[in-house]
Amino acid sequence: MNEQFSSHKPSNPSASPATWLGVMGGGQLGRMFVHAAQKMGFKVAVLEPALDCPAGHAADQLLCSGYTDTEGLNKLAAQCAAVTTEFENVSARSLSYLAEHAFVAPSGACVAIAQDRLEEKRFFVECATISGVFPAAHKEIRTEADLDQVPDDLLPGILKTARLGYDGKGQVRVKTREELRDAFAAMNGVVCVLEKMLPLAYEISVLAARGADGQAVVYPIAENVHRDGILFTTMVPGPNIGKEAADKAQAATLAVIKQLGYVGVLCIEFFVLTDGSVVVNEMAPRPHNSGHYTIDACITSQFAQQVRAMARLPLGDVRQHSPAAMLNILGDIWFEPGADDKTTPPREPQWDKVLAIPGANLHLYGKDVARRARKMGHITFVAPTMEQAQDNLRKACAILGIAP
């Protein structure tokens, strides 16, 4: 799928005037990409419909435009040698349109697979013939009639919308057929997938990158804890990950990224079950929340890696120089526990005390309003040992009023 891009050769990052790179989306992932690109000598244009956005604050230019607006897309393509996306729900058609005029990484075709859980699972099954790592048992649910065909062994399960779900949204746990029917009715007729609930030991994610030349690299495996469907902490190297599970997850990730013909950074989440087996869950065609530790703990951050892949530069060294524990910062900590958000003004967290902890690296995303469950930033704790990094993370939780 890369042949159509072969005539587009972006300039060296040291070229003058600087080569422009484009980003679809104005969120925090775009903001961190902008910082990494500018550090390497690029200028960045962000296309985003909201005027006040984290990436727009940092970008060299903000194109205020809808993701499917032809005029905005034309401006982005005309200005930029290469374009990427910072979230998977951007229009895949828009990415394919941009690819007619600029190098796009990842491609619209790759993003389209990640946008649809059913297509994603079909693709994972196809790749499993190579890697041996399958997704959870599941069934497509399009109509009420499909509910009658659900095998008994798929319950208890998790009913998920096939499209537009993230951070725990569009998901309902169901134990009985009655609960399944009620959950599907509450989804208002959208296509869903029912996944069998599995005996989970822990969750991991594998961050990888692939260049247009086919070179691929894999970062150290992250072990993740979620709360209410949102990433809470990431530990790297994962304290519970055995070599066999690690090898399986990394091999499966490399099989997926190669089969896709993917260019750029890709993250795949896996479940490790109580019997030690590995199950592939879902993928994100972009840098990922669980990969933020790479900014402070690796030779090449995931965002610098995305820049390299877009510009067709050699991929960077993925070695981790320090154990790292990352804590996601949500808007909840701006409010007193139990406070009414509507009547109680937010308060600034005690960043001075947090930053007094050795190895603490604070990253705030420049969002104007703190809201509960909204990702506002993250803190990465680097230390000589994982035990020290975890201990420092717990100290920060105590300061910020977060249950450890």
pLDDT in tens, 126-182: 999 999 999 999 999 999 999 999 999 999 999 999 997 665 578 999 999 999 999
Residue 195 assigned to a binding site: yes
Domains of the chain (ranges; CATH) run: 3-104 (3.40.50.20), 137-196 (3.30.1490.20), 200-400 (3.30.470.20)
38-76 burial: b if 16+ Cβ within 10 Å, else e:
bebbbbbbbbbeeeebbbbbbbebbbebebebeebbebb
pLDDT of 336: 85
Residues of the chain short of pLDDT 50, as ranges, are 1-17
Q: List CB contacts of 121: < 8 A, sequence separation 6 or more.
A: 135, 138, 193
Residue 169 assigned to a binding site: yes
pLDDT of 330: 97
Residue 198 assigned to a binding site: yes
Residue 121 assigned to a binding site: no
pLDDT of 340: 75
Residue 160 assigned to a binding site: yes
pLDDT in tens, 258-276: 999 999 999 999 999 999 9
Residue 365 assigned to a binding site: no
Tokens of 202: 């822990």
Residue 264 assigned to a binding site: no
Biggest alpha carbon–alpha carbon distance for the chain: 64
pLDDT of 168: 59
pLDDT of 165: 65
Mean pLDDT over the full length of the chain: 93
Residue 387 assigned to a binding site: no
pLDDT of 167: 59
First to last CA, the chain: 46
Residue 197 assigned to a binding site: yes
Query: CB under 8 Å, gap of 24 or more: what pairs does 361-365 form?
Result: 361/295, 361/296, 363/32, 363/292, 363/295, 364/329, 365/27, 365/28, 365/31, 365/54
Residue 276 assigned to a binding site: no
In sequence order, which ranges of 107-238 are alpha helices (DSSP H)? 108-115, 117-131, 144-147, 177-186
pTM of the predicted model as reported, rounded to 2 decimal places: 0.93
pLDDT of 89: 87
Residue 164 DSSP class: S
Residue 75 assigned to a binding site: no
Three-state secondary structure call for residue 285:
coil
Q: List CB contacts of 173: < 8 A, sequence separation 6 or more.
A: 156, 157, 158, 159, 197
